[in-house]
Amino acid sequence: MKTRFQIESLLTAVAMAAPLATNAEPAAALSPEQQEADYRVVAARCGTPAYEKAFFNQSKAAVAAGLVSKNRPPAEVEKTIATLRRSPFVLVAAPADCPAQIKQLDELRSTRSALLKSSRGARKAAAR
């Protein structure tokens, strides 16, 4: 029992300190790969398994289309994203933060969906 209490206390302390640390860091300082890794972690932490899978597939498509990093090969970007994944407790301190995070991810998904459709249409037109 005592060990469980100590672990819960430690996680609570980390969860309380994490938003301060992540908010102190300006958003512009994050690389596109780090941002994408964070998006994937938030989707896994806050979303359902189906939501996570759909977001992950769209994220991979965005990487392949060059929407995340235009000047690097997609395979290299995927490796970088995999190595940059952070702890979900650092990104989403409490489950109460999830609805706002999911809303942000939904906006990102709709924007990317339009960009991916337009890039596919442009490729098909160029192929003709």
Give the pLDDT mean for 72-87: 92
Residue 108: band (very low, low, confident or very high) from pLDDT cuts 50, 70, 90: very high
Candidates 91, 35, 87; CA nearest to 63 is 35
Asked if 120 contacts 61 with a C-beta cutoff of 8 angstroms, the reply is no
Q: pTM for the whole thing?
A: 0.69
Query: What does the pLDDT look like over 15-72, one tens digit per residue?
Result: 444 444 444 444 557 899 999 999 999 999 999 999 999 999 999 999 999 999 888 9
* CA pair distance 101, 27, nearest whole angstrom: 15
Rounded distance, CA 110 to CA 58, Å?
A: 10
Given a contact cutoff of 8 angstroms between Cβ atoms, the answer to whether 67 and 116 are in contact is yes
Most confident stretch, 4-13, 47-56, 84-93: 47-56
**DSSP 3-state assignment of 26?**
coil
Residues whose CB falls within 8 Å of the CB of residue 39, separated by 6 or more in sequence, listed in order = 55, 59, 105, 108
- Which pLDDT score is estimated for 70? 87
Residue 88 has which token pair?
A: 């979900």
Give dist(CA 21, CA 10) in Å, integer: 16
Neighbour-count burial of 87, counting CB atoms closer than 10 A to its CB (0-12 exposed, 13-18 middle, 19+ buried): exposed
